[in-house]
Structure 1
Amino acid sequence: MTVAAEGVPVLDLRLACPAAACWSVTWIGLEHSRSALTVTILVAIGLLVSGVLAGVARGWQPPSRGRWFGMRTWFGTSLVVATAGLAFGTGVALLVRADRVDAHPLRQLDGGSVAVVLSATEDPRVSGANPDLVWVRARVHAADGRTVTPADVLVFASSQSDKWLGLRVGERVRALVTVRVPDGRGLVVAALTARGPPTQISEAPGYLRLAETVRSRFRELCATALGHRKAGLLPGLVVGDTSAGEATVDEQFRRAGLTHLLAVSGANFALIVGMAVLLAGVI
Protein backbone atom coordinates (compact mmCIF):
# COMPACT_ATOMS: atom_id res chain seq x y z
CA MET A 1 0.00 0.00 0.00
CA THR A 2 1.44 3.36 -1.07
CA VAL A 3 0.18 6.92 -0.81
CA ALA A 4 -0.32 9.05 -3.92
CA ALA A 5 0.63 12.69 -4.14
CA GLU A 6 -2.96 13.63 -3.30
CA GLY A 7 -2.75 11.62 -0.08
CA VAL A 8 -5.10 8.89 -1.33
CA PRO A 9 -3.94 5.30 -0.54
CA VAL A 10 -3.14 3.30 -3.69
CA LEU A 11 -2.79 -0.47 -3.81
CA ASP A 12 0.77 -1.25 -4.97
CA LEU A 13 0.94 -4.56 -6.85
CA ARG A 14 4.28 -4.11 -8.58
CA LEU A 15 5.81 -7.12 -6.80
CA ALA A 16 2.79 -9.36 -7.29
CA CYS A 17 3.75 -10.56 -10.78
CA PRO A 18 7.42 -11.41 -9.98
CA ALA A 19 6.36 -13.17 -6.78
CA ALA A 20 3.62 -15.13 -8.56
CA ALA A 21 6.08 -16.12 -11.29
CA CYS A 22 8.62 -17.45 -8.77
CA TRP A 23 5.95 -19.39 -6.87
CA SER A 24 4.55 -20.84 -10.09
CA VAL A 25 7.94 -21.94 -11.38
CA THR A 26 8.74 -23.50 -8.01
CA TRP A 27 5.43 -25.38 -8.05
CA ILE A 28 6.10 -26.65 -11.58
CA GLY A 29 9.64 -27.69 -10.65
CA LEU A 30 8.57 -29.61 -7.54
CA GLU A 31 5.27 -31.12 -8.68
CA HIS A 32 5.72 -31.75 -12.40
CA SER A 33 8.17 -33.41 -14.76
CA ARG A 34 11.53 -32.05 -15.76
CA SER A 35 10.27 -31.47 -19.31
CA ALA A 36 7.54 -29.17 -17.96
CA LEU A 37 10.16 -27.19 -16.05
CA THR A 38 12.35 -27.00 -19.16
CA VAL A 39 9.44 -25.65 -21.23
CA THR A 40 8.76 -23.06 -18.52
CA ILE A 41 12.39 -21.92 -18.60
CA LEU A 42 12.26 -21.60 -22.41
CA VAL A 43 9.08 -19.50 -22.17
CA ALA A 44 10.78 -17.28 -19.58
CA ILE A 45 13.79 -16.88 -21.89
CA GLY A 46 11.50 -15.89 -24.76
CA LEU A 47 9.70 -13.29 -22.66
CA LEU A 48 12.98 -11.98 -21.26
CA VAL A 49 14.57 -11.57 -24.70
CA SER A 50 11.42 -9.96 -26.10
CA GLY A 51 11.21 -7.53 -23.19
CA VAL A 52 14.88 -6.59 -23.43
CA LEU A 53 14.65 -5.99 -27.20
CA ALA A 54 11.54 -3.86 -26.73
CA GLY A 55 13.25 -1.88 -24.00
CA VAL A 56 16.39 -1.33 -26.06
CA ALA A 57 14.28 -0.15 -28.98
CA ARG A 58 12.75 2.50 -26.73
CA GLY A 59 16.05 3.37 -25.09
CA TRP A 60 14.75 2.32 -21.65
CA GLN A 61 13.69 5.91 -21.10
CA PRO A 62 10.30 6.49 -19.44
CA PRO A 63 8.13 8.92 -21.41
CA SER A 64 6.97 12.23 -20.08
CA ARG A 65 4.17 12.33 -17.51
CA GLY A 66 1.66 13.56 -20.03
CA ARG A 67 1.97 10.49 -22.25
CA TRP A 68 -0.11 8.05 -20.21
CA PHE A 69 -0.13 5.27 -22.83
CA GLY A 70 3.63 5.48 -23.30
CA MET A 71 4.22 5.38 -19.56
CA ARG A 72 2.01 2.33 -19.27
CA THR A 73 3.89 0.57 -22.08
CA TRP A 74 7.28 1.35 -20.52
CA PHE A 75 6.13 0.10 -17.13
CA GLY A 76 4.69 -3.08 -18.69
CA THR A 77 7.95 -3.80 -20.52
CA SER A 78 10.01 -3.36 -17.36
CA LEU A 79 7.62 -5.60 -15.43
CA VAL A 80 7.87 -8.33 -18.07
CA VAL A 81 11.67 -8.22 -17.98
CA ALA A 82 11.80 -8.39 -14.19
CA THR A 83 9.22 -11.19 -13.99
CA ALA A 84 10.79 -13.26 -16.77
CA GLY A 85 14.28 -12.78 -15.34
CA LEU A 86 13.27 -14.00 -11.89
CA ALA A 87 11.31 -16.91 -13.37
CA PHE A 88 14.32 -17.89 -15.48
CA GLY A 89 16.70 -17.77 -12.53
CA THR A 90 14.35 -19.75 -10.29
CA GLY A 91 13.77 -22.36 -12.98
CA VAL A 92 17.47 -22.87 -13.70
CA ALA A 93 18.26 -23.18 -9.99
CA LEU A 94 15.52 -25.80 -9.58
CA LEU A 95 16.65 -27.70 -12.66
CA VAL A 96 20.27 -27.88 -11.46
CA ARG A 97 19.15 -28.91 -7.98
CA ALA A 98 16.82 -31.59 -9.38
CA ASP A 99 19.64 -33.03 -11.51
CA ARG A 100 21.88 -33.28 -8.44
CA VAL A 101 19.13 -34.96 -6.44
CA ASP A 102 18.30 -37.51 -9.14
CA ALA A 103 21.96 -38.39 -9.72
CA HIS A 104 22.90 -38.70 -6.04
CA PRO A 105 24.43 -42.12 -5.20
CA LEU A 106 22.32 -42.46 -2.05
CA ARG A 107 19.27 -42.96 -4.28
CA GLN A 108 20.81 -46.14 -5.65
CA LEU A 109 20.55 -47.69 -2.17
CA ASP A 110 16.76 -47.45 -1.91
CA GLY A 111 15.50 -50.04 0.58
CA GLY A 112 18.96 -50.95 1.84
CA SER A 113 20.88 -50.20 5.02
CA VAL A 114 24.02 -48.09 5.01
CA ALA A 115 26.26 -46.22 7.42
CA VAL A 116 26.14 -42.50 6.71
CA VAL A 117 27.88 -39.40 7.98
CA LEU A 118 25.51 -36.48 8.35
CA SER A 119 25.02 -33.15 10.08
CA ALA A 120 21.76 -31.62 11.26
CA THR A 121 20.62 -28.44 9.55
CA GLU A 122 17.71 -27.86 11.95
CA ASP A 123 16.87 -28.79 15.51
CA PRO A 124 15.36 -32.28 15.98
CA ARG A 125 11.59 -32.27 16.47
CA VAL A 126 9.20 -34.75 18.03
CA SER A 127 6.43 -35.73 15.64
CA GLY A 128 3.05 -34.32 16.61
CA ALA A 129 1.25 -37.36 15.20
CA ASN A 130 3.58 -39.88 16.89
CA PRO A 131 5.32 -38.80 20.13
CA ASP A 132 7.62 -41.84 19.87
CA LEU A 133 9.11 -40.51 16.65
CA VAL A 134 11.67 -37.72 16.23
CA TRP A 135 12.65 -36.28 12.88
CA VAL A 136 15.37 -33.89 11.80
CA ARG A 137 16.46 -32.23 8.57
CA ALA A 138 20.09 -33.05 7.87
CA ARG A 139 22.77 -33.03 5.20
CA VAL A 140 24.55 -36.25 4.28
CA HIS A 141 28.31 -36.11 3.65
CA ALA A 142 29.35 -39.75 3.27
CA ALA A 143 27.72 -43.11 2.65
CA ASP A 144 29.22 -46.55 3.11
CA GLY A 145 32.61 -45.02 3.84
CA ARG A 146 32.70 -42.94 0.65
CA THR A 147 32.42 -39.17 0.46
CA VAL A 148 29.36 -38.04 -1.49
CA THR A 149 28.08 -34.70 -2.68
CA PRO A 150 26.39 -33.00 0.32
CA ALA A 151 22.63 -33.38 -0.05
CA ASP A 152 19.52 -32.77 2.04
CA VAL A 153 17.85 -35.72 3.74
CA LEU A 154 15.17 -36.35 6.37
CA VAL A 155 16.14 -38.56 9.30
CA PHE A 156 13.54 -40.39 11.40
CA ALA A 157 14.47 -41.99 14.71
CA SER A 158 13.03 -43.09 18.02
CA SER A 159 12.32 -40.23 20.42
CA GLN A 160 13.53 -42.50 23.21
CA SER A 161 17.09 -41.86 22.04
CA ASP A 162 18.51 -38.85 23.87
CA LYS A 163 21.35 -38.67 21.36
CA TRP A 164 18.99 -37.95 18.47
CA LEU A 165 16.98 -35.45 20.48
CA GLY A 166 20.18 -33.75 21.63
CA LEU A 167 21.69 -33.51 18.17
CA ARG A 168 22.96 -29.98 17.54
CA VAL A 169 22.94 -28.10 14.27
CA GLY A 170 26.25 -28.59 12.43
CA GLU A 171 27.40 -31.51 14.58
CA ARG A 172 28.68 -34.41 12.46
CA VAL A 173 27.59 -37.91 13.42
CA ARG A 174 27.74 -41.41 11.99
CA ALA A 175 24.64 -43.60 12.02
CA LEU A 176 23.31 -46.80 10.52
CA VAL A 177 20.14 -46.03 8.56
CA THR A 178 17.67 -47.55 6.13
CA VAL A 179 17.29 -45.57 2.91
CA ARG A 180 13.94 -44.80 1.32
CA VAL A 181 13.58 -42.63 -1.77
CA PRO A 182 10.49 -40.41 -1.33
CA ASP A 183 7.71 -40.32 -3.91
CA GLY A 184 7.50 -37.29 -6.16
CA ARG A 185 10.28 -34.92 -7.09
CA GLY A 186 11.09 -32.55 -4.26
CA LEU A 187 14.59 -31.51 -3.23
CA VAL A 188 15.18 -34.14 -0.55
CA VAL A 189 17.44 -36.97 -1.71
CA ALA A 190 16.11 -39.61 0.67
CA ALA A 191 14.30 -40.31 3.91
CA LEU A 192 16.54 -42.16 6.37
CA THR A 193 15.25 -44.32 9.21
CA ALA A 194 17.84 -44.62 11.98
CA ARG A 195 18.51 -48.14 13.24
CA GLY A 196 20.30 -46.99 16.36
CA PRO A 197 21.77 -43.95 18.14
CA PRO A 198 24.26 -41.72 16.34
CA THR A 199 27.98 -41.60 17.08
CA GLN A 200 29.58 -38.17 17.20
CA ILE A 201 32.44 -37.56 14.78
CA SER A 202 33.06 -33.85 15.30
CA GLU A 203 31.48 -30.91 17.04
CA ALA A 204 29.65 -28.15 15.24
CA PRO A 205 31.73 -25.21 13.93
CA GLY A 206 32.46 -22.43 16.41
CA TYR A 207 30.01 -19.94 14.94
CA LEU A 208 27.18 -22.49 15.15
CA ARG A 209 28.07 -23.32 18.76
CA LEU A 210 27.98 -19.59 19.55
CA ALA A 211 24.56 -19.29 17.89
CA GLU A 212 23.31 -22.27 19.89
CA THR A 213 24.54 -20.65 23.10
CA VAL A 214 22.59 -17.49 22.30
CA ARG A 215 19.47 -19.47 21.47
CA SER A 216 19.74 -21.57 24.64
CA ARG A 217 20.12 -18.46 26.76
CA PHE A 218 17.10 -16.91 25.06
CA ARG A 219 15.04 -20.06 25.70
CA GLU A 220 16.01 -19.95 29.38
CA LEU A 221 14.99 -16.29 29.68
CA CYS A 222 11.65 -17.01 27.99
CA ALA A 223 11.01 -19.98 30.28
CA THR A 224 11.77 -17.84 33.34
CA ALA A 225 9.81 -14.74 32.38
CA LEU A 226 6.86 -16.16 30.41
CA GLY A 227 4.18 -18.79 30.74
CA HIS A 228 4.61 -22.27 29.31
CA ARG A 229 2.95 -21.64 25.95
CA LYS A 230 4.49 -18.22 25.41
CA ALA A 231 7.93 -19.54 26.36
CA GLY A 232 7.68 -22.07 23.53
CA LEU A 233 6.15 -19.64 21.05
CA LEU A 234 8.35 -16.54 21.38
CA PRO A 235 11.68 -18.18 20.34
CA GLY A 236 10.00 -19.41 17.16
CA LEU A 237 8.66 -15.95 16.32
CA VAL A 238 11.96 -14.19 17.04
CA VAL A 239 14.77 -16.54 15.98
CA GLY A 240 12.96 -19.46 14.35
CA ASP A 241 13.64 -21.82 17.28
CA THR A 242 10.62 -24.14 17.56
CA SER A 243 12.25 -26.79 19.76
CA ALA A 244 10.20 -25.81 22.82
CA GLY A 245 6.91 -25.40 20.96
CA GLU A 246 3.80 -27.41 21.68
CA ALA A 247 2.23 -29.65 19.06
CA THR A 248 -1.23 -28.17 19.71
CA VAL A 249 0.00 -24.62 19.17
CA ASP A 250 1.83 -25.66 15.98
CA GLU A 251 -1.35 -27.29 14.71
CA GLN A 252 -3.37 -24.13 15.43
CA PHE A 253 -0.89 -22.03 13.47
CA ARG A 254 -0.97 -24.55 10.62
CA ARG A 255 -4.77 -24.41 10.40
CA ALA A 256 -4.66 -20.62 10.40
CA GLY A 257 -2.08 -20.62 7.59
CA LEU A 258 0.51 -18.88 9.80
CA THR A 259 3.09 -21.66 10.17
CA HIS A 260 5.74 -19.48 8.50
CA LEU A 261 5.66 -17.14 11.50
CA LEU A 262 7.03 -19.90 13.73
CA ALA A 263 10.21 -20.49 11.78
CA VAL A 264 10.71 -18.85 8.38
CA SER A 265 9.84 -15.29 9.34
CA GLY A 266 11.55 -15.59 12.70
CA ALA A 267 14.80 -16.85 11.21
CA ASN A 268 14.74 -14.20 8.47
CA PHE A 269 14.00 -11.52 11.06
CA ALA A 270 17.03 -12.62 13.09
CA LEU A 271 19.31 -12.60 10.02
CA ILE A 272 18.15 -9.19 8.78
CA VAL A 273 18.35 -7.54 12.19
CA GLY A 274 21.73 -9.13 12.86
CA MET A 275 23.16 -7.81 9.58
CA ALA A 276 21.65 -4.39 10.26
CA VAL A 277 23.29 -4.28 13.67
CA LEU A 278 26.66 -5.29 12.19
CA LEU A 279 26.43 -2.69 9.42
CA ALA A 280 25.41 -0.01 11.90
CA GLY A 281 28.44 -0.87 14.01
CA VAL A 282 30.78 -0.64 11.02
CA ILE A 283 29.30 2.63 9.76
Structure 2
Amino acid sequence: MAVDLRLAGPAAACWGTCAIALATPLPVTLVLTATWTVAAAAGWFGWRHRRAALAATVLGVCGVAAAAGAVCAIRIGLVESSPVRDLDGKPRVVLQVSGDPRVFAGNGGATLPVRVLAAGGRQLRAVDAVLLTRVTQLPETVPGQRLSVRVRVRPPPPGPANRLVAARLTAVDEPRVVAQAPPWQRWAGHVRFRLRELSARALPPQAAGLFPGLVLGDTGLLDQQLRTDFSAAGLTHLTAVSGDTA
Protein backbone atom coordinates (compact mmCIF):
# COMPACT_ATOMS: atom_id res chain seq x y z
CA MET A 1 0.00 0.00 0.00
CA ALA A 2 1.40 3.39 -1.00
CA VAL A 3 2.10 5.90 1.76
CA ASP A 4 0.86 9.45 1.14
CA LEU A 5 3.42 11.86 2.62
CA ARG A 6 2.18 15.07 1.01
CA LEU A 7 1.26 16.59 4.37
CA ALA A 8 4.43 15.47 6.13
CA GLY A 9 6.47 18.45 4.91
CA PRO A 10 3.98 21.20 5.88
CA ALA A 11 3.30 19.50 9.24
CA ALA A 12 7.00 19.23 10.07
CA ALA A 13 7.62 22.85 9.04
CA CYS A 14 4.68 24.04 11.17
CA TRP A 15 5.70 22.15 14.29
CA GLY A 16 9.37 23.02 13.85
CA THR A 17 8.62 26.72 13.45
CA CYS A 18 6.40 26.73 16.56
CA ALA A 19 9.07 24.92 18.58
CA ILE A 20 11.74 27.42 17.53
CA ALA A 21 9.43 30.36 18.25
CA LEU A 22 8.74 29.16 21.78
CA ALA A 23 12.41 28.50 22.53
CA THR A 24 14.06 31.63 21.10
CA PRO A 25 13.72 35.43 21.43
CA LEU A 26 11.01 37.18 19.44
CA PRO A 27 13.42 38.74 16.87
CA VAL A 28 14.53 35.24 15.85
CA THR A 29 10.91 34.30 15.20
CA LEU A 30 10.37 37.44 13.13
CA VAL A 31 13.44 36.73 10.99
CA LEU A 32 12.42 33.10 10.54
CA THR A 33 8.88 34.11 9.56
CA ALA A 34 10.20 36.63 7.05
CA THR A 35 12.46 33.95 5.55
CA TRP A 36 9.59 31.49 5.21
CA THR A 37 7.45 34.23 3.64
CA VAL A 38 10.08 35.05 1.02
CA ALA A 39 10.52 31.35 0.23
CA ALA A 40 6.74 30.92 -0.08
CA ALA A 41 6.56 33.90 -2.43
CA ALA A 42 9.31 32.37 -4.55
CA GLY A 43 7.41 29.07 -4.64
CA TRP A 44 4.20 30.86 -5.64
CA PHE A 45 6.02 32.74 -8.40
CA GLY A 46 7.56 29.52 -9.71
CA TRP A 47 4.27 27.65 -9.60
CA ARG A 48 2.40 30.48 -11.38
CA HIS A 49 4.88 30.57 -14.24
CA ARG A 50 6.01 26.98 -14.60
CA ARG A 51 3.40 24.86 -12.79
CA ALA A 52 6.29 22.79 -11.42
CA ALA A 53 5.63 20.21 -8.70
CA LEU A 54 8.71 21.37 -6.78
CA ALA A 55 7.48 24.97 -6.76
CA ALA A 56 4.07 23.84 -5.47
CA THR A 57 5.77 21.86 -2.69
CA VAL A 58 7.89 24.85 -1.70
CA LEU A 59 4.79 27.04 -1.67
CA GLY A 60 2.87 24.60 0.54
CA VAL A 61 5.65 23.94 3.05
CA CYS A 62 6.90 27.50 3.32
CA GLY A 63 3.42 29.02 3.31
CA VAL A 64 2.29 26.87 6.26
CA ALA A 65 5.52 27.59 8.14
CA ALA A 66 5.19 31.34 7.52
CA ALA A 67 1.61 31.33 8.82
CA ALA A 68 2.66 29.38 11.93
CA GLY A 69 5.54 31.77 12.55
CA ALA A 70 3.29 34.81 12.16
CA VAL A 71 0.73 33.45 14.64
CA CYS A 72 3.45 32.60 17.17
CA ALA A 73 5.08 36.02 16.78
CA ILE A 74 1.75 37.80 17.34
CA ARG A 75 0.92 35.71 20.41
CA ILE A 76 4.37 36.12 21.94
CA GLY A 77 4.41 39.85 21.17
CA LEU A 78 1.03 40.34 22.86
CA VAL A 79 2.22 38.48 25.95
CA GLU A 80 5.54 40.31 26.21
CA SER A 81 3.92 43.74 25.80
CA SER A 82 1.01 43.06 28.16
CA PRO A 83 0.59 45.59 31.02
CA VAL A 84 -0.27 42.64 33.28
CA ARG A 85 3.44 42.08 33.74
CA ASP A 86 3.90 45.56 35.20
CA LEU A 87 1.14 45.42 37.82
CA ASP A 88 2.37 46.31 41.32
CA GLY A 89 0.99 45.65 44.78
CA LYS A 90 -2.13 43.55 45.11
CA PRO A 91 -4.51 44.66 42.36
CA ARG A 92 -8.00 43.25 41.97
CA VAL A 93 -8.29 41.50 38.62
CA VAL A 94 -11.12 40.04 36.59
CA LEU A 95 -10.26 36.66 35.12
CA GLN A 96 -11.96 34.33 32.68
CA VAL A 97 -11.46 30.64 33.39
CA SER A 98 -9.87 28.96 30.37
CA GLY A 99 -9.22 25.44 31.64
CA ASP A 100 -9.47 23.00 34.50
CA PRO A 101 -7.76 23.42 37.88
CA ARG A 102 -4.81 21.24 38.69
CA VAL A 103 -4.71 20.21 42.34
CA PHE A 104 -1.48 19.50 44.22
CA ALA A 105 -2.12 16.76 46.74
CA GLY A 106 0.77 17.57 49.05
CA ASN A 107 0.12 21.21 50.00
CA GLY A 108 -3.56 21.75 49.24
CA GLY A 109 -2.78 24.22 46.46
CA ALA A 110 -4.17 24.44 42.95
CA THR A 111 -3.36 26.20 39.69
CA LEU A 112 -6.05 27.42 37.32
CA PRO A 113 -5.49 28.53 33.70
CA VAL A 114 -7.14 31.91 33.15
CA ARG A 115 -7.26 34.94 30.86
CA VAL A 116 -6.79 38.36 32.45
CA LEU A 117 -9.55 40.73 31.30
CA ALA A 118 -9.21 43.69 33.68
CA ALA A 119 -7.06 44.96 36.54
CA GLY A 120 -7.72 47.74 39.03
CA GLY A 121 -11.00 48.57 37.29
CA ARG A 122 -9.27 49.03 33.92
CA GLN A 123 -10.01 46.86 30.90
CA LEU A 124 -6.96 45.10 29.45
CA ARG A 125 -6.23 43.21 26.28
CA ALA A 126 -6.92 39.59 27.26
CA VAL A 127 -3.83 37.47 27.85
CA ASP A 128 -3.23 34.04 29.31
CA ALA A 129 -2.06 33.66 32.90
CA VAL A 130 -2.07 31.11 35.72
CA LEU A 131 -3.85 31.63 39.04
CA LEU A 132 -2.40 29.99 42.16
CA THR A 133 -4.76 29.54 45.09
CA ARG A 134 -5.83 27.16 47.85
CA VAL A 135 -8.20 24.36 46.91
CA THR A 136 -10.46 25.34 49.79
CA GLN A 137 -10.79 28.89 48.39
CA LEU A 138 -11.44 27.95 44.78
CA PRO A 139 -15.12 27.82 43.78
CA GLU A 140 -16.47 25.20 41.40
CA THR A 141 -15.14 26.48 38.08
CA VAL A 142 -16.20 26.01 34.47
CA PRO A 143 -14.36 27.37 31.40
CA GLY A 144 -15.90 30.69 30.39
CA GLN A 145 -16.74 31.66 33.96
CA ARG A 146 -15.44 35.02 35.25
CA LEU A 147 -13.79 35.49 38.63
CA SER A 148 -12.76 38.54 40.63
CA VAL A 149 -9.79 38.19 42.99
CA ARG A 150 -6.99 40.24 44.51
CA VAL A 151 -3.57 38.92 43.48
CA ARG A 152 0.17 39.29 43.65
CA VAL A 153 1.73 39.34 40.18
CA ARG A 154 4.90 37.44 39.42
CA PRO A 155 6.55 36.49 36.12
CA PRO A 156 5.85 32.97 34.84
CA PRO A 157 8.49 30.25 35.29
CA PRO A 158 11.11 30.30 32.53
CA GLY A 159 10.90 27.83 29.69
CA PRO A 160 9.15 27.28 26.35
CA ALA A 161 6.07 25.78 28.04
CA ASN A 162 5.31 29.16 29.67
CA ARG A 163 6.20 31.40 26.74
CA LEU A 164 2.55 32.22 26.05
CA VAL A 165 1.73 32.91 29.71
CA ALA A 166 1.89 36.57 30.74
CA ALA A 167 2.06 36.15 34.52
CA ARG A 168 1.67 33.91 37.52
CA LEU A 169 -1.04 35.31 39.80
CA THR A 170 -1.14 34.34 43.47
CA ALA A 171 -4.54 34.88 45.09
CA VAL A 172 -4.45 36.87 48.35
CA ASP A 173 -8.18 36.56 48.98
CA GLU A 174 -10.93 34.17 47.97
CA PRO A 175 -11.88 34.25 44.27
CA ARG A 176 -15.54 35.05 43.72
CA VAL A 177 -17.68 34.39 40.68
CA VAL A 178 -18.82 37.60 38.93
CA ALA A 179 -20.25 36.08 35.72
CA GLN A 180 -21.41 32.59 34.87
CA ALA A 181 -20.11 30.58 31.94
CA PRO A 182 -22.19 30.31 28.75
CA PRO A 183 -24.97 27.68 28.89
CA TRP A 184 -23.10 25.17 26.70
CA GLN A 185 -20.05 25.37 28.96
CA ARG A 186 -22.21 24.87 32.06
CA TRP A 187 -23.83 21.83 30.44
CA ALA A 188 -20.43 20.35 29.57
CA GLY A 189 -19.24 21.06 33.11
CA HIS A 190 -22.25 19.23 34.53
CA VAL A 191 -21.48 16.17 32.39
CA ARG A 192 -17.87 16.15 33.58
CA PHE A 193 -18.88 16.64 37.21
CA ARG A 194 -21.29 13.70 37.02
CA LEU A 195 -18.61 11.49 35.45
CA ARG A 196 -16.20 12.38 38.26
CA GLU A 197 -18.88 11.66 40.85
CA LEU A 198 -19.80 8.26 39.39
CA SER A 199 -16.13 7.33 38.95
CA ALA A 200 -15.41 8.10 42.59
CA ARG A 201 -18.30 5.86 43.66
CA ALA A 202 -17.44 2.91 41.45
CA LEU A 203 -13.63 2.88 41.24
CA PRO A 204 -10.62 2.97 43.57
CA PRO A 205 -8.94 6.42 43.99
CA GLN A 206 -6.27 6.19 41.25
CA ALA A 207 -8.66 4.69 38.70
CA ALA A 208 -11.34 7.24 39.63
CA GLY A 209 -8.92 10.05 38.74
CA LEU A 210 -7.74 8.35 35.56
CA PHE A 211 -11.10 7.35 34.03
CA PRO A 212 -12.40 10.93 33.37
CA GLY A 213 -9.08 11.71 31.70
CA LEU A 214 -9.34 8.74 29.35
CA VAL A 215 -12.96 9.56 28.45
CA LEU A 216 -13.07 13.39 28.42
CA GLY A 217 -9.51 14.60 28.96
CA ASP A 218 -10.47 15.76 32.46
CA THR A 219 -7.27 15.26 34.49
CA GLY A 220 -8.22 17.47 37.42
CA LEU A 221 -8.34 14.53 39.86
CA LEU A 222 -5.48 12.53 38.35
CA ASP A 223 -3.06 11.32 41.02
CA GLN A 224 0.28 13.14 40.79
CA GLN A 225 2.33 9.92 40.88
CA LEU A 226 0.14 8.39 38.19
CA ARG A 227 0.51 11.57 36.14
CA THR A 228 4.30 11.30 36.46
CA ASP A 229 4.25 7.61 35.51
CA PHE A 230 2.14 8.30 32.39
CA SER A 231 4.52 11.08 31.37
CA ALA A 232 7.61 8.88 31.87
CA ALA A 233 6.01 6.12 29.80
CA GLY A 234 5.07 8.53 26.99
CA LEU A 235 1.36 7.82 27.45
CA THR A 236 0.18 11.33 28.38
CA HIS A 237 -1.73 11.52 25.10
CA LEU A 238 -4.21 8.95 26.44
CA THR A 239 -5.55 11.56 28.88
CA ALA A 240 -5.56 14.39 26.33
CA VAL A 241 -8.88 13.63 24.64
CA SER A 242 -10.14 17.16 25.19
CA GLY A 243 -8.31 18.60 28.14
CA ASP A 244 -5.16 19.24 30.10
CA THR A 245 -1.89 17.43 29.38
CA ALA A 246 0.20 19.12 32.04
TM-score by length of 1: 0.77
Spell out, residue by residue over 1:222-245, the C-alpha distance to the aligned partner (whole angstroms, 9 max, x if none).
Answer: 344444433322221221111221
Equivalence for 2:31? 39
Determine if contact 1:134/1:165 at 8 Å carries over to the other structure: no
Structure 2 unaligned segments of length 5 or more: list them. none
- Please, which moves more after superposition, 184-193 or 30-39? 184-193
Equivalence for 2:13? 21
Equivalence for 2:155? 181
User: After the TM superposition, which residues 60-75 of structure 1 pair with which residues of structure 2 at under 5 Å, given as runs?
Assistant: 74=53
Find the partner of 2:167 among 190, 193, 204.
190
Determine if contact 1:41/1:92 at 8 Å carries over to the other structure: yes
> 1:209 offset after TM fit, Å?
0.6
Equivalence for 2:184? 207
Determine if contact 1:117/1:142 at 8 Å carries over to the other structure: yes
Spell out, residue by residue over 1:63-121, the C-alpha distance to the aligned partner (whole angstroms, 9 max, x if none).
Answer: xxxxxxxxxxx2x4333222111111111111111221122111112x53211011211
Q: Distance in 1 between matches of 2:109 and 2:56?
A: 50
Equivalence for 1:135? 111
- The structure, 1 or 2, with the larger RCO (C-alpha pairs under 8 Å, 6+ apart) is 2
Determine if contact 1:179/1:193 at 8 Å carries over to the other structure: yes
Give the CA RMSD over aligned residues. Answer: 2.1
Equivalent residue pairs, number: 240
Q: Distance in 1 between matches of 2:30 and 2:199?
A: 48
Q: Distance in 2 between matches of 1:234 and 1:14?
A: 36
Determine if contact 2:84/2:166 at 8 Å carries over to the other structure: yes
Structure 1 residue 267 corresponds to structure 2 residue 237? no
Report which of the two structures shows the higher radius of gyration computed on alpha carbons.
1
Secondary structure (helix, strand or coil) at the match of 2:170 reads: strand
Determine if contact 1:173/1:200 at 8 Å carries over to the other structure: yes
> 1:167 offset after TM fit, Å?
2.8
Spell out, residue by residue over 1:101-142, the C-alpha distance to the aligned partner (whole angstroms, 9 max, x if none).
Answer: 122111112x532110112111211136x4332111011111
Structure 1 residue 168 corresponds to structure 2 residue 160? no
Structure 1 residue 56 corresponds to structure 2 residue 30? no
Q: Distance in 2 between matches of 1:29 and 1:85?
A: 16
Find the partner of 1:153 among 111, 129, 145.
129
Percent identity over the alignment is: 36
TM-score by length of 2: 0.88
Q: Which amino acid in the other structure matches residue 181 of structure 1?
A: P
User: After the TM superposition, which residues 103-114 of structure 1 pair with which residues of structure 2 at under 5 Å, given as runs?
Assistant: 103-109=81-87, 112-114=89-91
Equivalence for 2:100? 123
Q: Distance in 1 between matches of 2:155 and 2:89?
A: 11
